[in-house]
Each structure stands twice: as C-alpha cells, then as structure tokens.
Amino acid sequence: MLTRIFTATAVASLALGLAAACSPPTTPTEAASADTADMVKMALPHAKMANFTLKDTAGKAHELYKMTDAKAIVISMHTRGCPIGQQLNPDFHALQAKYEAKGVKFMMINPNMHDTPEMIAKEAKEFDITMPILKDSDQSVTEPWGVERATETLIVEPKTWKILYQGPINDRVTFGRAKAKPDNDFATVTLDAMLAGKAVTPSYNMTDGCIISFEKRGH
C-alpha cells in the first residue's frame, strides 16, 4: 500500500489567492480559501512532516527528527508586526506554560523574506516570546506545509511525524474582533488527547493572521 507524503508537490496547490496581509479575505477569495481548507483536510490524514534543520535568532540549530523525546511538537508561524499574532502572545504563553512541563516542545518559524533574525529577536524581546523562533530564510521548509498566515499552528506526533492538527491555537482573536476567552481551544483539545494516549483524527481550521508571502506561489 502506498503512503502519501506531505511534500511540496502534494500541497503546492493548497495556497490559493488570499486577501492582503492582515486583512480579512474578500468575497472572491472566500471560495478559494474554502477550496484550500477542503484540500488540506483531505491531505492531513496522510501528512507526514519531513525532517528539517533551522537556526533560531541566536544561531542555534534545531533538527525536527532529533526531538524524539517530545510528547508532541507545536510549531507556529511567525511574522514580525502581525497585530493578531501580537494579541495572541498571551495565549501562546499560556499554552506553553501548561504543556511544556508535560514534555511538549514549542517553537515558532518565521518564513517572511524581509524579516531578518535581528528584527525577529527584537520583537521576541519586546513581547517576551520565550519559545525559539526559527528562520526559514528560503521558505523551503514551510512552503510545502500549505501554511498561509501568521499564527497558523501545526501539531506533530513525534512517533510518526504526522501532522495531527493545523490551524489557529484557538478562536479568541479574529479579524476585527477579540474576545476575553476563546470558545474553542483547538490546540488544547489535540494536546490533551495526545498526552492521554488517545487516537487523534487529523483536523484543520482556517487561520486569521497576516498573510505569508511565498515567492514560489507567486503571492
């Protein structure tokens, strides 16, 4: 039986035209985003994250497949100056504080071509981001994942390297709206199930956040 792997070829078509950075999708792109979501949902049950090695803003290298001691790996997309990302920083702090001691590893990855490590480090200090922010300078690591916006998060199972969740960590902050508490804690639900040893069906949710411009996709 053939196993489908989550490669650049398999997901290049996932990134369809979206709205301008840090603005909600316009009507024409809402249908495109829906198509993207449907394709990601179909791909996720077979999605295996390939190994990668990236350096953080301090120059330290992080290799995915060496993180075999982790109970789960949470990877969130970062872009400098994203208002939604900045508003969600307390939520990322809370998630990290709750699960890091339980063996879950956290990291952010910045694939924006114009964000330098120095710029990223400055924002991390300003907003007290304690998880490492890795730099995907040529976008070769993150582009195949089908990610589209800042704060989009992937939760990976180290035993199989499968992506069990892709989307926002919760729904507290969306375009033009911020609630005191989220109605849905997507990341928490997935992590609790993983730590309890339960079978997790891969899931996907659309993410609000500043759009990531991938040169390979032409937007």
Question: Residue 219 falls within a domain, yes or no?
Answer: no
Tokens standing for residue 103: 């063996």
Residue from 146, 177, 168 nearest 12 by CA:
146
Q: Residue 77: its pLDDT value, please?
A: 98
Question: Residue 211 falls within a domain, yes or no?
Answer: no
Question: Residue 137 falls within a domain, yes or no?
Answer: yes
pLDDT tens for the chain, 219 residues long, are: 323 334 333 333 333 333 334 555 444 344 445 565 666 666 676 689 999 999 999 999 999 999 999 999 999 999 999 999 999 999 999 999 999 999 999 999 999 999 999 999 999 999 999 999 999 999 999 999 989 999 999 999 999 999 999 999 999 998 878 899 999 999 999 999 999 999 999 999 999 999 999 988 775
Question: Residue 213 falls within a domain, yes or no?
Answer: no
Dihedrals φ, ψ of 144, to 5°?
-65, -15
Question: Residue 210 falls within a domain, yes or no?
Answer: no
Residue from 36, 7, 16 nearest 145 by CA:
7
Whole-prediction pTM: 0.83
- Buried b or exposed e, range 154-178, using 16+ CB within 10 angstroms: bbbbbeebbbbbbbbbbbbbeeeee
In angstroms, rounded to a whole number, what is the distance separating the alpha carbons of residues 32 and 15?
9
Question: Residue 69 falls within a domain, yes or no?
Answer: yes
Residue 132's domain is classified under what CATH number?
A: 3.40.30.10
Is residue 18 within 8 Å of residue 25, measured between CB atoms?
Answer: yes
Question: Residue 215 falls within a domain, yes or no?
Answer: no
Structural domain harbouring 129? 8-204
User: What is the number of structural domains in the chain?
Assistant: 1
Question: Residue 190 falls within a domain, yes or no?
Answer: yes
